[in-house]
Amino acid sequence: MPLAVELAAVRFGYDPRRPVLEDVSLAIPEGQFVAVAGPNGGGKTTLSRLTVGLDQPQAGSVRLFGGPVDTASRRGLVGYLPQRAQLGIEAPATVREVVSAGRVTRRRLLGPLTAADRDAVVAAIARVGLIEQADRPVTSLSGGQQQRAFIAKAIVAQPRLLILDEPTTGVDADAQDALAALLARLHGELHVTVLYVSHEFGAVEHVAERLLLVRGGIAFDGSPAELPERWHDPSHAHA
């Protein structure tokens, strides 16, 4: 199976003398659903930022689909839901406008949306179950619905790798279960590689194929069945 994500001996620290991640190597085959969890400050968000190219490793390398990260980005292969996703905009953006923004790629940078773009936007909104809210401002929706809108934005360009960083922050338990079910369905329908990063595995533990526990490095890497009982809550993931 070709690899979607490859990290080789990666080292990174915001203060280079105190690395957040040290000697991290990881290989994720295309199509796999991977959930990443770990204690606060353990480096899981850093791992996702390194993977999408928002931070650069101080040692080692990161490759996506066999090539450099920026090449995969330029080819529109990566969909990303950042931590605490929120609108960086004062104007009241509708769900349709937010999702449409995901159709802007380097190859489709100029000019208005095409009919194919508009169809893809509607399809993405329908996939996350927000058709009735399509023309409502995102800020008028519940936390769970807002996350669905941002997931629609992340998938609308039909990426092959979907990275979600703490998508359940501020979302109630029911909405977390619904989000896990949605991601399982999207994974099955779109055949996309999913890298789901959260402070705990939660409901996603039951839909992910592989779990990673990150605490300065990879503390656990295996199937949900192999996860030791004491690490189901990763805040207890001591050395």
3-state secondary structure string, 101-147? HCCCECCECCCCCCHHHHHHHHHHHHHCCCHHHCCCEHHHCCHHHHH
Regarding 158 and contact with another protein (CB under 8 A), the answer is no
Site for another protein in 121-140 (CB under 8 A): 135, 137
In the bound complex, what is the minimum distance in angstroms from residue 224's beta carbon to another protein?
Answer: 28
According to CB under 8 A, which one of 90, 132, 225, 239 is a site residue for another protein?
A: 90
144 sits near another protein (criterion: CB under 8 A):
no
Smallest gap from residue 34 Cβ to another protein (A): 18
132: which strand partners? Answer: none
Q: Does 68 bind another protein (CB under 8 A)?
A: no
Cα separation, 148 vs 130, in Å, equals 8
- Residue in 89, 116, 126, 173 binding another protein, rule: CB under 8 A: 89
d(CA 181, CA 16) in angstroms, rounded, equals 39
Interface with another protein, residue 74, by CB under 8 A: yes
Spatial CA neighbour of 160 closest among 224, 87, 85, 66: 66
Regarding 53 and contact with another protein (CB under 8 A), the answer is yes
CB 166 within 8 A of CB 36: no
3 SS3 class: strand
| Nearest to another protein of 194, 211 (CB atom) | 194
Q: Is 54 in the site for another protein (CB under 8 A)?
A: yes
Which residue type occupies 46? T
Region binding another protein by CB under 8 A among candidate stretches 35-43, 84-92, 201-209, 224-232: 84-92
Residues 91, 115, 225, 239: which binds another protein (CB under 8 A)? 91
